[in-house]
Amino acid sequence: MNIENTKELRAHWDERYRSGQTPWDTGITPPEVQEFWKKHTPSLAGNLALDIGCGTGLNTLFLARQGLSAIGFDLSGQALMLACKRLSPSAASGQERPRGSAMFVQADVTRLPVGSLGATYALDIGCLHSLPDDRRPAYAQGVIRALRPGGYYHLYVFDGSKSDGPGARGMDDGEVAALFDGKMEIVSEERGVSSTQVSRPSSWFLLKRTEM
Ligand SMILES: C[S@@+](CC[C@H](N)C(=O)[O-])C[C@H]1O[C@@H](n2cnc3c(N)ncnc32)[C@H](O)[C@@H]1O
């Protein structure tokens, strides 16, 4: 994908959602995220969590169900229309009632319209690895600013070395470490092919904002 400006990017993602070309939209919160929250729910409940490039908001709502105040950001109005439908009383009937809250904001995450949010957790499943190269440093600065010291950043990315086809370029070896160098430490990195994502070599990273 070689797209230069925000308008074109938005049109690209809107069209993916409009035409239903959304293989990532599996309806299942990845086990990696579920596991993290099994461990952390008692200590982090009530805090702010961000879902960066939230798509149709499934995982934003998952975070709200953990008791967090969750904000989902996405560029695509089409995706956010679907996300907002999840909040409607009819969609929510029969679902577990969130203990926290969820809201959605349309924004370019390489130019987040927020300063220091003091967020406890930020999740990115498949957004950073799709960004044009020259936007990635600004995105990383936004994530660093939004998190409080000690806050976690959970990231799912395609492996860049195998991604010559259309779509996300992925992340090169060492690219995540370089983008967040000095401001976030890598707690863990798991390579593999996630069971709930399209089949492609990929990694789950857990990073932690360093104390100031
Ligand atoms: C592969 S989808 C993943 C969606 C969601 N995280 C999920 O797992 O269902 C990537 C998402 O990132 C969003 N996105 C891409 N570039 C963006 C940008 N610059 N700002 C905000 N959102 C963006 C797209 O609209 C899309 O919803």
pLDDT digit string, tens, across residues 19-57: 999 999 999 999 999 999 999 887 787 799 999 999 999
Q: Which of 18, 75, 114 to mutate to test the pocket of ligand 1 (most atoms within 8 A of CB)?
A: 75
Residue 166 has pLDDT above 50, yes or no: no
| Percentage of the chain lying above the pLDDT 90 cut | 65
Residue 165 has pLDDT above 80, yes or no: no
Q: Does the beta carbon of 179 lie inside 6 Å of ligand 1?
A: no
Mean local confidence (pLDDT), 141-153: 95
Cα 194 from Cα 203, distance rounded (Å) = 8
Fold of 6-18+28-209: Rossmann fold (3.40.50)
Cα 70 from Cα 101, distance rounded (Å) = 6
Q: Where are the domains of the chain?
A: 6-18+28-209
Q: Does the beta carbon of 109 lie inside 6 Å of ligand 1?
A: yes
**89 CB-near residues (< 8 Å, 6+ apart):** none
Residue 176 has pLDDT above 80, yes or no: yes
The residue with greater pLDDT, 183 or 99, is 183
Task: Check residue 114 and give its pLDDT.
Answer: 72
DSSP label at 20?
T
* pLDDT-derived band at 200, boundaries 50, 70, 90: confident
Residue 164 has φ and ψ, to the nearest 5°, of -90, -10
Tokens for 147? Answer: 């998190």
CA of 141 to the centre of ligand 1 (A): 18
**What are 68-93's pLDDT values in tens digits?**
999 999 999 999 999 999 888 777 66
Task: Check residue 144 and give its pLDDT.
Answer: 95
Q: Does the beta carbon of 13 lie inside 6 Å of ligand 1?
A: yes
Q: Which of 2, 7, 13, 111 to mutate to test the pocket of ligand 1 (most atoms within 8 A of CB)?
A: 13
CA of 55 to the centre of ligand 1 (A): 5
Contact 69, 46 (CB under 8 A): yes
What's the mean per-residue pLDDT of the chain?
Answer: 88
Name which residue sits closest to atom 19 of ligand 1, judged by CA: 108
| Percentage of the chain lying above the pLDDT 70 cut | 89
